[in-house]
Amino acid sequence: MGKDMNIKPENEDYQFMRETIKKRPNDRRRLFRKGLMLFIGGVFFGLYAAGAFAWALPEFAERFAEEKGLVSAVKLTTASSDGQAETEEKENTVSNTDLNTDSYTDSYTDIQGGIGLTQDSSSLEKATDPLIKYQQIYRRVLDVAKKPRKALVRVTGISGHSDLLDASILRYEEGEGIIFLESSSCIYILTNWEPSEKTSSLQVTFADSSTARAHLCQTDDATGLSVMWVRTSELSDSTKKAISVVSLAQSFAPEQAEPVIAIGSPSGEFDGVLYGIVTSTSGRFSAADAEYQLMITDIQGCISSKGVLINTKGEIVGVIKKNIREDVNVIQAFSISQLRSRIEQMINKQAPRYLGIYGVSIPAAKAASLGISKGIYIEKVDKDSPAMAAGIQRGNIITALDGSPVSDMQEYSTYLQNCENGLEINMQISRYSGDGELGKVELTVKVNEK
């Protein structure tokens, strides 16, 4: 047989099929990076462990010391064995209406009893004393305002009409007021809210959330005040017990630094309570035939501030004036002593007497330089008013009414409001002539109703 050429000898060396596995050379950079990462990880772990140990050590030490009785625990106490805390609680209870800070004790014992701390009073005295005093003052304020706040009411004006489909549509206007007078058959409410001409009915919500129908006595256009009344027969016995009546101060001459409390909505929210002092009594508000003294306080207010000012006896001494300017951020109020006569007129539904004069009192020094003892400078005269019809002009000076000297608008207004409608008044006036000389004339003006 011939030799098979496809069979290859076993010992033939196939160089092209032989694999040679070589050892991979060491990568020094890679080893260095791994070692560095391990080192950094170890450092961070060590720092974390040290921090955790440092944080836990005081805790364990404190617990160990407490177990061994080395540290005394701080306690909040409500009473002491000798009854001292109970005595201090009674002393701190607001029982009088004096807001004078001189009555407060500076002893830290009272402060300590108020918050119940028995540890390290000397270190806490300076930090807590002003706060505790502020709390004491406000508690006194709340005590004074407790009864007057029960006299606060919400007033809702309801107006209704029919639309094109003959469906009744009701609209509501809201205000607030305070009960200031009670008769045998009704209670009277003073409010600085004016019902609109479309208001068809009034509803009052009392302190206990009960409601009753109210009736309008009258509204004063100059001040924006209104008086309403509610029949007591429409009130339940529970409502009569829940509400109170706050009287008008009989005689109140506001002075600087006089403490006052604002209730109602002094900050724009109903049933708020703020307090402060009278900072000025020189403000004035001019109206036809009247000039009202304004009490300026340091109480922060807003454009929607409403309510009344009460004194430390809980009596109404002022009615908060509506702010018509956004830049006026303190509460101003009409003095109740000047509003009293007008309020009486509104209760009795008497229209105010009217001449149409806006005036201002002349200072004594200026009056002396003009050669007159006193008088009222006329700033403005209403158009088509009785005063204009009588020939009274801007710049005239009123010196007397029916022979009786007048020195300020308060005297003038009081005299006028006591006159009968249609009465003629002889008014003595000083005015400058064309040559600059100050002469005297007498004019007759007829009293009218507004």
pLDDT of residue 56: 63
Q: What angle do CA 68, 73, 76 make, to 5 degrees?
A: 160
Question: Model confidence over 283-334: pLDDT tens digits?
Answer: 889 999 999 989 999 999 988 899 999 999 999 999 999 876 667 789 999 9
Of 48-62, 79-93, 348-362, the range with the lowest mean pLDDT is: 79-93
Reported in sequence order, the residue ranges of 266-371 that DSSP labels E, i.e. its strands, are 272-287, 290-300, 306-310, 316-320, 330-335, 353-354, 357-361
Q: CATH number for the 353-449 domain, one of 3.40.50.2300, 2.30.42.10, 1.20.1090.10, 3.30.565.10?
A: 2.30.42.10
Higher-pLDDT residue of 149, 135: 149
* Sequence spans of domains, the chain: 84-149, 154-242, 259-345, 353-449
Q: How many CB atoms lie under 10 A from the CB of residue 209?
A: 9
pLDDT of residue 310: 96
What's the CA gap between 427 and 407, in Å, rounded?
A: 13
pLDDT of residue 63: 52
59 confidence band (pLDDT: 50, 70, 90)? low
pLDDT of residue 71: 39
Does residue 361 surpass a pLDDT of 50? yes
Q: 259-345 in CATH: which number? A: 2.40.10.10
pLDDT of residue 57: 63
Q: How far apart are the first and last CA of the chain?
A: 154
77 confidence band (pLDDT: 50, 70, 90)? very low
Record: fold of 154-242:
Thrombin, subunit H (2.40.10)
Longest CA span, the chain: 173
pLDDT of residue 107: 37
84 confidence band (pLDDT: 50, 70, 90)? very low
Query: What secondary structure, in 3-state letters, does 232-254 show?
Result: HHHCCHHHHHHCCCCCECCCCCC
Q: Same CATH fold, 353-449 and 259-345?
A: no
Do 370 and 251 meet the contact criterion of CB atoms below 8 Å apart?
A: no
Handedness of CA 122, 128, 130, 134 (dihedral sign): negative
What's the CA gap between 338 and 342, in Å, rounded?
A: 8
Burial 279-308 (b: 16+ CB within 10 A, else e): bebeeeeeebbbbbbbbbbebebbeebbbb
Do 155 and 200 meet the contact criterion of CB atoms below 8 Å apart?
A: no
- Tell me the residue length of the chain: 450
What's the CA gap between 432 and 240, in Å, rounded?
A: 61
**Averaged over 76-102, what is the pLDDT?**
41
